[in-house]
């Protein structure tokens, strides 16, 4: 985060107000983008990727053994389909016609044969490539060649289709390029894949060693899934707000406010999972998986599935959480409440149930509570199914659990009817134009305080809750956003004021 003076921060208040009014609380629901309608990824893709555990140390024997283990462990039958071969699969040189080739030492049988093997196991074939000249390994690791798809988009797409590829991970591993240039470049491969006639899941990462563009744009018109942050690492919290690398909790903080982007065919991607790689406690790994599940994130395992223990296997194949993740509505859970430690998220499901996550981001056990009404249910009798234990309890409306440090309890709430839906989102309010957040700069948030646009840090002064009456309340002060003045012309200032519920404090999501 850049450190600027308070005076300069306050000077941005007018900009904040203009952006807020123009966007009608765009952080609550981002402007709609035309969806990529290629018929795939109607629910979040599930699979495995080689990079987290093996990096460049890959070959066809490893990939085939992994496929065998995915089948034998029950992961395939639980929904894991895509086996994605990441960086370093290629011959550093294209052939005389400019075609990509598999590395003959690592993949002597060829890429088509590998795809055939995976398909024969009831799995699907994924490959890594980049839209620039060099892959990440070539850019950073001294791996030979420059085999990116830049200038070869249509040719490479045809090659992928000929090999039977079902999933393309396309990684912008370059500090160059504006968002507009990224959009145009990613769209080239989108269109090239469509022209092949083969259904291929298109997964993009606009964030590698680049300005953090993911939270600044809804990429649903370009791809089926898009990374929301820099690379994940095998740790709970690295302290990175949106930098390299990022821990589980850091990624969740960035991804929660982006709920409005998710829908069938297009999902926020908080990166491949670290479950089973040993860098966290079992409680933290369960939270990792549970939060990816309720956030409608692609469930792409990154562990060595050939040697996973029973705890890891149990987490990755948890049927109750996978069912929540794979629900046909394709909704990402929205934030109901967050006090800086206790976070409540709710995900509406196709059968009328609601999945509720009680997430403890603190360092000590605590009780987290909400109600059926707060998560969008009506009535007086409900059943709670614990997604971890499969135990059921009944309630007249209270939803509560004692949650260990860094733990997550997930209930599937059934019964009753559909009441007022949970807020479209909560937490930070993010500008779709800039990726920056509404921030209350003063420590004494009195009436008349003006919010500003600032880097998203997830601090208490950037957390907001949309109330049932349409008012938007500051998580720090409890004050509401209020239009200052009866004549709400362009440039009208937004201020914080006591929550009265008046018309000038009510906001509609469009």
Active site residues: 171, 231
Q: Where are the alpha helices (DSSP H) in 106-178?
A: 111-120, 136-140, 153-163
Provide the β-strand partners of residue 46.
Answer: 299
By the 8 A CB rule, do 83 and 124 touch? yes
What is the C-alpha to C-alpha distance for residues 336 and 465, in angstroms, rounded to an integer?
8
Pairing of strands 342-348, 354-360: antiparallel
Alpha-carbon separation of residue 502 from 261, 336, 481 (angstroms) = 30, 22, 11
By the 8 A CB rule, do 353 and 414 touch? yes
The length of the chain, given as a count of residues = 510
What is the C-alpha to C-alpha distance for residues 129 and 168, in angstroms, rounded to an integer?
7
Output b/e per residue, 83-109; b: 16+ Cβ within 10 A: bbbbbbbbbeebeeeeebbbbeebbee
Q: Residue 439 corresponds to which tokens in the numbers above?
A: 């921030």
Residue 140 DSSP symbol: H
By the 8 A CB rule, do 97 and 81 touch? no
Other Cβ atoms less than 10 A from the Cβ of 485: the count is: 11
Tokens 């990727």: give the residue: 49
What is the C-alpha to C-alpha distance for residues 308 and 352, in angstroms, rounded to an integer?
35
Strand order in the sheet with 480-483: 464-466, 472-474, 480-483, 494-497
To 10 degrees, what angle do helices 111-120 and 60-72 make?
10
The candidate with the shortest Cα–Cα distance to 55, out of 112, 117, 136, is: 136
**Which helix H or strand E contains 225, and what residues bound it?**
strand 225-227
């Amino acid at each position: 985060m850049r450190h600027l003076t308070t005076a300069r921060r306050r000077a941005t208040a007018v900009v904040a107000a203009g952006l807020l009014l123009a966007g009608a609380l765009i952080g609550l629901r981002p402007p709609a983008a035309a969806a990529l309608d290629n018929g795939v990824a109607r629910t979040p893709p599930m699979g495995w990727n080689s990079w987290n555990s093996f990096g460049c140390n890959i070959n066809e024997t490893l990939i085939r053994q992994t496929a065998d283990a995915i089948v034998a462990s029950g992961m395939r039958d639980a929904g894991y389909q895509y086996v994605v071969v990441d960086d370093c699969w290629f011959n550093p040189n294209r052939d005389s016609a400019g075609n990509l080739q598999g590395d003959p030492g690592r993949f002597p049988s060829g890429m088509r044969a590998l795809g055939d093997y995976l398909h024969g196991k009831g799995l699907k074939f994924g490959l890594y490539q980049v839209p620039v000249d060099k892959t990440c390994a070539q850019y950073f690791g001294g791996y030979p060649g420059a085999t990116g798809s830049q200038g070869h988009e249509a040719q490479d797409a045809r090659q992928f289709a000929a090999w039977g590829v079902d999933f393309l991970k396309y990684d912008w591993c370059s500090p160059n390029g504006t968002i507009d240039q990224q959009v145009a470049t990613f769209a080239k491969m989108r269109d090239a894949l469509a022209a092949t006639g083969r259904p291929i899941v298109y997964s993009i990462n606009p964030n590698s060693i680049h300005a953090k563009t993911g939270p600044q744009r809804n990429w649903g018109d370009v791809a089926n899934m898009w990374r929301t942050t820099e690379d994940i690492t095998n740790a709970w919290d690295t302290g990175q707000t949106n930098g390299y690398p990022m821990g589980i909790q850091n990624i969740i903080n960035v991804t929660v406010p982006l709920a409005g982007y998710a829908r069938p065919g297009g999902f926020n991607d908080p990166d491949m999972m670290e479950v089973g790689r040993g860098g966290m406690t079992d409680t933290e790994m369960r939270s990792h998986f549970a939060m990816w599940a309720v956030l409608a994130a692609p469930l792409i395992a990154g562990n060595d599935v050939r040697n996973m223990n029973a705890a890891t296997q149990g987490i990755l194949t948890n049927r109750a959480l996978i069912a929540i993740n794979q629900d046909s509505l394709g909704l990402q859970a929205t934030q109901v409440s967050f006090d800086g430690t206790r976070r409540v998220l709710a995900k509406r499901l196709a059968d009328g149930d609601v999945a509720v996550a009680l997430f403890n981001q603190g360092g000590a056990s605590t009780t987290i509570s909400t109600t059926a009404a707060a998560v969008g249910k009506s009535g007086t009798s409900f059943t709670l199914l614990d997604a971890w234990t499969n135990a059921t309890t009944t309630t007249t409306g209270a939803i509560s659990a004692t949650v260990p440090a860094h733990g997550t309890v997930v209930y599937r709430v059934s019964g009753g009817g559909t009441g007022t839906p949970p807020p479209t989102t909560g937490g930070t309010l993010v500008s779709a134009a800039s990726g920056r957040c509404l921030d209350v700069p003063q420590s004494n948030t009195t009436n008349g305080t003006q919010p500003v646009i600032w880097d998203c840090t997830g601090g208490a002064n950037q957390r907001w809750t949309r109330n049932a009456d349409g008012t938007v309340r500051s998580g720090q002060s409890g004050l509401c956003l209020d239009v200052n003045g009866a004549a709400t012309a362009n440039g009208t200032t937004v201020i914080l004021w006591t929550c009265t519920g008046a018309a000038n404090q009510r906001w509609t999501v469009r």
